[in-house]
Structure 1
Amino acid sequence: MTIEVSNESGVGVDETLIASVARYALNAMHVNPAAELSILAVTTDVMSELHERWMDEPGPTDVMSFPMDELAEESRRPDAPELGPALLGDIVLCPEFAKAQARTAGHPLADELHLLTVHGVLHLLGYDHAEPEQEREMFGLQNKLLADWRAAREQAAAREAQRRSDSAVLGTVGLEDDTPSR
């Protein structure tokens, strides 16, 4: 899966973690591993222009998703027919706008950007939240994907810490795990 992240926002963001959460969500949703996704972080001015042009709404917003036109007619939800390799589309994030939301929610900007990335992925896959039932489904799935991604990251960090500890105790720091002892 190819995920390209570009930050043109002027706000420091961890592009690696944004790609990681997007990849996790796409894998969990059984999107073809040959799929491609572009994620762009932009300024509030750029987001305002996009929001006004494509949604006819004034001012900036936190995230917008732009599915590829060739796929727009097909539902890309996991209960739809098998997805082939494709350019899924673009997710545009506005970190400056998301800062206020993060403060209100009481969590770091990075957490808000991860949430918005998953939100954008779900929109690209055909999910929406215009109706209460759709909102419950989409936000429930969004929360589950985020929680599962965070748990997977914590487990990986714990395994890595244990590996380092074991290596230090065994005196194998810098050696590959599968190197036989003599």
Structure 2
Amino acid sequence: MNVAVSPVERPDIDEPAIREYVTSILTTEGIPYDASLSITFVSQADIAELNERFMGKTGPTDVLSFPIEDASPDTPPIPAPGGPPLELGDIFICLEVVEVHAGEYGVPFTDELFLMVTHGVLHILGWDHHNDADAQAMESREARYLEKIGRTRR
């Protein structure tokens, strides 16, 4: 599994722990070892631009996911037999927005960060929250993964 996490100079961000955590989610979700995913930390201006360009929404957000393959919770992406490694997609996270949200919700920054990582990975795998039932299923799954590493979902 190749999980690329952009380097960031913040002592409260443990990039190897993020990689290990994402790998455990992907493995649990049945993604083969020969797959890759990237997580990039971006500024508020950069995520606002991505949000407007690709989502049609104005302003910054906390996390955006761009899957390469169409997937759903019941049919995760799978590599072609004998084909190249499976490229899952890209996740962009704005740490400034994550920090603001952590303060608003009264949770530790690292808990909110790992929630956004989890949220982004699940979107890559086809999970979504277009309606209440889907949102509840996705939130339940997020909570389960976070609990495994001693974190809580707000």
TM category (shorter chain) comes to 0.7 to 0.9
The 1-side partners of 2:6 and 2:144 are apart by 26
Asked if 2 retains the 8 angstrom alpha-carbon contact of 1:65 and 1:89, the reply is yes
The 2-side partners of 1:141 and 1:82 are apart by 18
The 1-side partners of 2:34 and 2:72 are apart by 15
Matched, 1:87 2:82: no
Asked if 2 retains the 8 angstrom alpha-carbon contact of 1:101 and 1:112, the reply is yes
Partner AA of 1:106 in structure 2 = G
The 1-side partners of 2:10 and 2:76 are apart by 39
Partner AA of 2:78 in structure 1 = L
The alpha-carbon deviation at position 20 of structure 1 amounts to: 2.1
Asked if 1 retains the 8 angstrom alpha-carbon contact of 2:43 and 2:96, the reply is yes
Asked if 2 retains the 8 angstrom alpha-carbon contact of 1:76 and 1:83, the reply is no
The 2-side partners of 1:59 and 1:34 are apart by 36
Counterpart for residue 52 of structure 2: 52
The 2-side partners of 1:7 and 1:123 are apart by 22
Partner AA of 1:35 in structure 2 = A
Alignment gaps of 5+ in structure 2: 80-84
Counterpart for residue 171 of structure 1: none
The 2-side partners of 1:4 and 1:81 are apart by 20
Counterpart for residue 2 of structure 1: 2
Counterpart for residue 82 of structure 2: none
The alpha-carbon deviation at position 123 of structure 1 amounts to: 0.3
The alpha-carbon deviation at position 76 of structure 1 amounts to: 4.7
Partner AA of 1:20 in structure 2 = E
User: Higher helix share goes to which structure?
Assistant: 1
Counterpart for residue 102 of structure 1: 102
Secondary structure of the corresponding residue to residue 150 of structure 1 = coil
Matched, 1:122 2:122: yes
Counterpart for residue 39 of structure 1: 39
Residues 110-149 of structure 1 mapped to structure 2, 5 A cutoff? 110-149=110-149
Give the percent of matched residue pairs that are identical in Structure 1 and Structure 2: 36
Partner AA of 2:120 in structure 1 = G
Going from structure 1 to structure 2, the CA distance change for 1:97 and 1:37 (only over 3 Å counts) comes to: same
RMSD: 1.9
Provide TM-score, normalisation by structure 2. 0.86
Provide TM-score, normalisation by structure 1. 0.73
